[in-house]
Amino acid sequence: MSPKLSRRRLLEAALWSTALPTVAAAAPRSPLVYRSRPEKLLIVFAANGGASLIDSFLPVLAQTHNAQLRTYTQQQLDTVPGSAFRCVKSIPYRLGVPVETRYQMRDFLARHGRDMVLFAQTGTSVNHLIGQQRSLNGNGINRGRTLMEAVSEAYGQDLLLPNINMALGGYALAGSDPSLPRYAKPEAVADALLFPLALHRDQSIEGRIDGELLAAARDVRGRLEQNSRFYQDHKTATLLEEVLRFRSDIPRLEAAQLIESLMLLDRARLGQAPAERTEGNVLLQRVRDQFPAFATDPLEAQTAMAFLLLRYGLSTSVTIGLDELVRFTESGQERQLLHLPLAFDWSHNAHVGAQNSMWRRVLYAIDRLIQLLKTEDYLGVPEFGRIWDRSLVYVATEFGRDKSKIGGSGHDLNNGHVLISPLLKGNQVLGGLDDKTGLTYGFDPNTGRPDPFRTMQEGDQYSLILQALGVRFPGQRNFPTAVRDT
DSSP string, 349-379: SSHHHHHHHHHHHHHHHHHHHHHHHHHSBGG
Residue 52 · residue 433 · CB < 8 Å: no
The backbone torsions φ and ψ at residue 242, rounded to the nearest 5 degrees and listed phi first, read -65, -40
For 140, the 3-state DSSP assignment is helix
117 forms bridges with which residues in the sheet? 419, 428
For 412, the 3-state DSSP assignment is strand
Residue 162 Rama label (left phi>0; alpha psi -120 to 50; beta): alpha
Q: What pLDDT digit, counting tens, does each position of 47-71 carry?
A: 999 999 999 999 999 998 999 999 9
- How far apart are alpha carbons 435 and 61 in whole angstroms? 7
DSSP assignment string, 220-283: HHHHHHHTSHHHHHHTT-HHHHHHHHHHHHHHHHHHT-THHHH--S-GGGGTSPPPP--HHHHH
Selection from 286, 315, 320 nearest residue 303 by Cα:
320
Residues 155, 26, 6, 466: is their CA dihedral positive or negative? positive
Q: Pairing relation of β-strands 317-321 and 163-165?
A: parallel
- How far apart are alpha carbons 34 and 24 in whole angstroms? 9
CA 251 to chain CA mean position, Å: 28
Residue 393 · residue 116 · CB < 8 Å: no
Burial class (CB in 10 A: 0-12, 13-18, 19+), 455: middle
Give me the residues of the chain with pLDDT under 70, please: 1-37, 204, 267-280, 486
Alpha-carbon Rg for the chain in angstroms: 23
Angle, helices 147-155/128-137, rounded to nearest 10 degrees:
30
Q: Identity (one letter) of the amino acid at 159?
A: L
Provide the pLDDT for residue 407.
72
- How far apart are alpha carbons 165 and 190 in whole angstroms? 9
- How far apart are alpha carbons 373 and 307 in whole angstroms? 7
The backbone torsions φ and ψ at residue 154, rounded to the nearest 5 degrees and listed phi first, read -75, -40
Residue 369 · residue 45 · CB < 8 Å: no
Selection from 394, 364, 390, 365 nearest residue 376 by Cα:
390
Burial class (CB in 10 A: 0-12, 13-18, 19+), 94: exposed
Residue 392 · residue 469 · CB < 8 Å: yes
Q: Identity (one letter) of the amino acid at 258?
A: L
Task: Give the CA distances from residue 298 to residues 320, 356, 360, 365, 382, in Å, rounded to whole numbers and listed in that order.
Answer: 10, 20, 16, 11, 31
Task: Give the CA distances from residue 386 to residues 53, 275, 349, in Å, rounded to whole numbers and listed in that order.
Answer: 29, 27, 43
The residue length of the chain stands at 486
- How far apart are alpha carbons 97 and 81 in whole angstroms? 35
Enumerate domains of the chain plus CATH numbers. Answer: 7-194+293-468 (3.40.720), 201-256 (no CATH)
For 39, the 3-state DSSP assignment is coil
Q: Identity (one letter) of the amino acid at 269?
A: R
Provide the pLDDT for residue 11.
39
What are the residues whose beta carbons fall under 8 Å from the beta carbon of 241, sequence distance 6 or more?
A: 235
Burial class (CB in 10 A: 0-12, 13-18, 19+), 254: middle
- How far apart are alpha carbons 30 and 236 in whole angstroms? 31
Selection from 347, 351, 360, 329 nearest residue 90 by Cα:
360
DSSP assignment string, 17-57: HH-HHHHHHHS-S------SSPP-EEEEEE-TTT--GGGTT
